Structures are given as structure tokens and as C-alpha cells.
Structure 1
Amino acid sequence: MTLLKEEMEDEDRDKWIVWFDGASNVLGHRVRAILVTPDDQCIPFTTSLGFDCTNNMAGYEACALGNQAEIDFKVKVLKVYGDSALVIHKLRREWETRDHKLIPYQAYIKKLTKFFDDVSFHHIPREENQMVDALASLASMFQLTPHEDLSYIEFRCRGKPAHCYLIEEEQDGKPWYFDIKQYIEDKEYPWEASNNDKRTL
């Protein structure tokens, strides 16, 4: 993570996005956030909470997790997306906060927003928050001891198979399908073929 932050120091930081989600249920209390960089890299974070909390508290914890990560990256302009209508509308000051458990969260996230030149909060449907939901499943699959973190997890989408550039690179200079073609035409196995190679062919 530190290396990525160093690489991003000279890049435009005006297009960062954070997606967040939190859940409190029988599986435990989990929060997760995804940072999207200016060049569309996704950086996932997931945290298990070791204390009892409500769903709304978990939502605030998730939002704080994403904002704290963005502060570490020295982001100045940020768009925050979450599927919790309560959290988003209260952060936008469209709804009043009366729950004494949530008031400190409201104040804390307001304090975090001072690190940004501009931050906006946007509500999205749950079906558009699939990546952070997947991180919730990941967080519920294992137990961590207090103060223990797993190494940074990187998610990528590959458009081509990893081996695609190796297909034509045969040591004898012949194409990968040479032995198959020879067997079809002449019914002959390569002279160095083992019994297993012959069965495969």
C-alpha cells in the first residue's frame, strides 16, 4: 500500500471515489470500503469490528474507514458512495441526527471532511454496491486476533489469459499444434513422446 501511495504522489488526485458498506448481523460486525483511483484502480479495505454495534453504526464505521484511507492518500476532492440512506442523508444534513450512538460518528466524519478541499456524499442502490458486499463475505470467513491485519489484497480484472503470449514460444521453433497436426496427418507420435504424452495426444 505504501508503494502505491508513493507512486500516486505526482498524479492528479481530483477524481478519487470511495464506496462503502457496513453490516451488523449474526455473522458479526463488518465494514468495508473500496477506493477508486484516478486511473480506475480499485483498492479494497475490509475490517471486522470487535465490539457490538447497530447496522447504522456499522455504516458510519465503513464511511469513516474509506475517508481515513483517502486522507492517507492525500486526496483533496472526494466523492463518497454508500447504500445506507440514513448515513448518506444525515451526512448531507438532510436528516437530523437524534440517536445518541450516532451523534459522535456524525461529528467525527465532519472532522475528517476538513482534510478535503471538497467532499460529496451520494446514495446508491444496494445492487450497485456489489464489490463491497463481496468484501463482507470475505471478512466473515476468518477470525483475526486483535490488532492483526492481513496483507493488502489486490483485485484485478484480466482481459486476456496469462499464458496467451507463450503459446507460440516453442523451444524447437515449431508452433504449439505441430505434434497434433502430424498425428492427424501421419498417425505418428513424436519420437520423444512418453506413454502419458501419447494418451494426451
Structure 2
Amino acid sequence: MAEYEACALGIRATINFRVKLLKVYRDLALVIHQLKGEWETRDQKLIPYQAYIKELMELFDDISFHHIPREENQVADALATMSSMFKIGFHRDLSCIDIKCHIKPAHCCLIEEEEDGKPWNFYIKRYIKDNEYLPEASDNDKRTLQRLAASFLLSGDVLYKRNHDMVLLRCVNANKAEQILLEVHEGSFGTHANGHAMDRKILRVGYY
């Protein structure tokens, strides 16, 4: 339904600009093939959306629908994410946006290795297993580690974090976290999340 609404809004915007020849590109094959009449629309909730767009189609001299694979639509996804976060000034002054391309996804560039070569959870595991602190740890550091460790569970050599709904999240190091993010977000499974959502994933990159 959201994809149909976005498609309808885009078409209506072109009508306001008196566009008569239009090519519509979407990365969701379902919407495109249904609007082209190649796939049957069985979901009763989608039929009114399809009928509305077909009414809009009558206002064009020529309109066509084309499917573009999600992995080829990354720039549009990035611009959509930026537009959801961009604020226009009081006088509608638009700032210049400098766009740079990375060889690999930006969220992977933000994953940092542990400075001392030890995994981020090394001292938590050591405290839970052997009740040991850093030699230079202050009383405040010890209390902080105690509170932090209370939400973790060590099973053998595998560390888990208890989620708020008591689901156990397996803890991994930076290298494994980067591998997981690449597997989840690359190719056809590219993210549609906005910047804030991705930031939360990056901050929790040690949990799986």
C-alpha cells in the first residue's frame, strides 16, 4: 500500500507540472507488473490504489511503467533518505549537498576495530567468567562494569546480551559485525532505512 501511495504521489506531482509524457520507474516489481496488467491484483486493499492510478494515467498522452532492480536504484534510495532528513530554511534557501561515492557501503566504513586488539566484550566476558577487573580500574569503573555485565549471559565461550523482551542477542566482534552487515544490506536486500535507523544499527553492531 505504501508503494502504491508513493507511486500515486509521484504521478500527481508530474501532473501539476503539466507533464504529458511520463516514464515511471519503481524497484518493487509487484506494483509495476500489476499496473502494466501483467500480474493480477488479488489483494482487495490494493485494488482501489490500482484503480486510482489508472484514472491518473488518462491525463497523459503516454505513460509507461518500468521495473528497476533495487541494486541499481541505490542513488534514488539515498536521495529519498536524505530528503526525509533535510530541512528547508525559513526563506527556502537550499544548501549545496556534496555527494561522494564509497567503494563499499558507508555503514561498513563506520565500523571501527578495537584499539587494543581485544574484542569490545573482552572485559565483560572476563568479569562474568573470573570476576576480574582491570588492574587500574577505579571503584566507579568496577560499579559500571558490574551494572553492564548484569544484562549479559556467558554460555561456554559465547557471550549473549539479554534484550528487553528476554531474547538473547549473540555478541560478535567488529570483523564479524562487518560481515553480517554486508550480508544483510548488500544487493537486492539493500536497506530502505533512514539515516537514524542505520545509526542505531551501527551503534549496536556488536549484537547479533
Q: TM-score range by the shorter chain?
A: 0.3 to 0.5
More strand by share: 1
TM-score (norm 1): 0.42
Higher helix share: 2
TM-score (ref. length: structure 2)? 0.40
